[in-house]
Amino acid sequence: MSDASTRLLRLLSILQSRRDWPCADLAERIGVTPRTVRRDVQRLRDLGYPVHGTPEVAGGYRLGAGAVLPPLLLDDDEAVAVAVGLRTATGGSVTGIEEVSVRAMAKLEQVLPARLRRRANALHTFTVPLLRAAAAVDAHVLAAIAGACRDSERVRFGYRNHAGEESRRTVEPHRLVNASGRWYLLAWDIDRDDWRTFRVDRIQPPMSTGPRVPPRTPPEDAVDLVWRGVSSDAYEYQARVILRVPLVEAEERVSALSGALKPVDATSCELRTGAGTLDMLAIHLAMMGCDFEVLEPAELVERIRDMADRLGRAVR
C-alpha cells in the first residue's frame, strides 16, 4: 500500500479507539503534521466516513456513526482472540447475539490465514468451559452500559434487587465486570452517594442516558469492589476472618463469589465473606477445612462457641 493509504487505515484505527481526539494528539500518534491530519480527515470524508469536528481549542475529531463500517485492523493474536470469542459467544450468557456471532465468525474464518485458523480451531476444540448456569443479559443493555462507561454519561434505569423490590436508580457507570458467568455494573449511585454494584440481568429497560460528567475514581480496583459487593456486602451478616493457610491455598478453597481474600503474611490471609444468618456463616467457615480466627463480628464468635458445644455433646 502507498504511504497515504497506510496512513488512512492507521487514522481510522486510532479514531475507533476512543470518542474524541485532538488534532495534535492524532498527529503525534501517526507521526505527521496537523496539516496532514486535516488533509487525511478530508480524504476519509470523501470516502464516506463520518468524521466530525469537535470543539477543541486547536481542533479535534470524532468518528461518528454512519452507513460505512470502517475496516477492522487486527494483528495475529487479536484475530485468533476474536475468532475464539465469537465461537464462545454462540453459547454465552449474553442473549440476542448468538445468530449474529455465527455469521460474523463465518466471515472472519473465511479470510483468516490457514495458520491462524488452525490456532483458533485448536484453542476452541480443546478448551472446555466449566461455568455454572447464569442469568442471561440483553446484548443491547450491555452495549448501552458499556457506552455510558466509555463516555462518562449518567444513566437512569429501573432495578430489581435480590428480594424482588423495584426502584429507579440514577448512576454514573464506571466499569462492567464479568464474574463466574454473571455481569455486574460498578457505578456511583447518585441518590445513595456511594459506590454500588448492580447485577446487569436485574437492570430493567428502558434506560435513559443523561449528561456527561467528569469520571470518578473508585477508592480501590473495580474488580475488588465488585468482588466484595457480591461476596459479603450484599448479605445481612458480614465477617472478617484470618485463615491460617497461605493465600494460594485459600484461593483453592474459596470461590470468587463466596469471599474476598487478601494476603497477611506467608502463612495466612484475610477473608471477607457474608451470609444470610450467623449459623450459615459459621458452617461456611467450618467447611473451609483449615484453622481460622474470627476478627469480626463478635456475635459470630459466640455463635461458633455455642455450635462447638452442641457438636461436642453430640459425639460424647
Q: Of 38-42, 73-77, 131-135, 193-197, which one has max mean pLDDT?
A: 38-42
Q: DSSP alpha helices (H): ranges in 90-138?
A: 98-111, 114-125
In the chain, at which residue ranges do the beta strands (DSSP E only) sit?
A: 21-22, 51-54, 60-63, 94-95, 137-138, 153-160, 166-179, 182-189, 194-199, 203-212, 237-243, 260-265, 268-275, 292-296
At residue 99 the predicted structure's pLDDT band, cuts being 50, 70 and 90, is low
| Backbone dihedral angles phi then psi of residue 263, each to the nearest 5 degrees | -70, 150
Asked whether the beta carbons of 226 and 186 are under 8 A apart, the reply is: yes
At 159 the pLDDT is 93
Instruction: Write the pLDDT tens digit of every residue in 18-56.
Output: 778 899 999 999 999 999 999 999 998 888 888 888 876
Please give the mean pLDDT across all residues of the chain.
82
Instruction: Write the pLDDT tens digit of every residue in 202-211.
Output: 998 778 887 8
At 183 the pLDDT is 85
Does position 133 have pLDDT exceeding 60, yes or no?
Answer: no
Does position 1 have pLDDT exceeding 50, yes or no?
Answer: no
At 180 the pLDDT is 65
What's the alpha-carbon Rg for the chain, to the nearest Å?
Answer: 25
Using alpha carbons, select from 77, 207, 215, 49 the residue that is nearest to residue 142: 207
Interatomic CA distance for residues 75 and 73, integer angstroms = 7
Q: Is 170 exposed, middle or buried (0-12, 13-18, 19+ CB in 10 A)?
A: middle
Interatomic CA distance for residues 224 and 285, integer angstroms = 21
Instruction: Write the pLDDT tens digit of every residue in 275-291.
Output: 888 998 899 888 888 99
At 36 the pLDDT is 94
